[in-house]
Homo-oligomer: A and B are copies of this chain.
Amino acid sequence: MASWLDKVNWQENGLVPAIAQDAKTKRVLMVAWMNREALRLTLEKGEAVYWSRSRGKLWHKGEKSGHVQKVLEIRLDCDADVILLMIEQEGGIACHTGRESCFFTRLEEGEWRAVDEVLKSPDEIYRKS
């Protein structure tokens, strides 16, 4: 395996968090997890591939929704334990709720409030013809 993958400081469970940031809007869209294979595939495909902890398998983002993430740049932090992807977000929607970003909830007066609009309903996103 390529040595650049060895430079990543994988956690004990073999994962690291990966942030997807929109290269155009600069919004932080989501955070998911990657294992070695997910990161390797991300580079190979030029599209974000994560490790789904809930499903226990590789997750090519957008495989169901069509909301793939074209990867323009891959960065690593100074501790080598967090990945940052600069991406182009297909459809302008990263979140399964139909919003641009998964970070649509803001703390206001002691409450978490959803402050970003739903651009497309999840029913529409995940309905297959």
Interface of A toward B, CB cutoff 8 Å: 2-4, 7, 17, 19, 21, 26-28, 30-31, 43, 73-80, 82, 84, 95-97, 102-107, 110-112
Contact = CB atoms under 8 A, between A and B. Distances in A.
Can you list the 3 inter-chain pairs with the closest CB atoms, starting with the nearest? A26-B26, A77-B102, A74-B107
15 contacts: A7-B112, A19-B31, A26-B26, A30-B77, A74-B106, A75-B104, A75-B107, A76-B103, A76-B112, A77-B105, A78-B95, A78-B96, A78-B105, A79-B102, A84-B103
A21 to B, nearest CB: 6
Nearest to A22: B26
A3 to B, nearest CB: 8
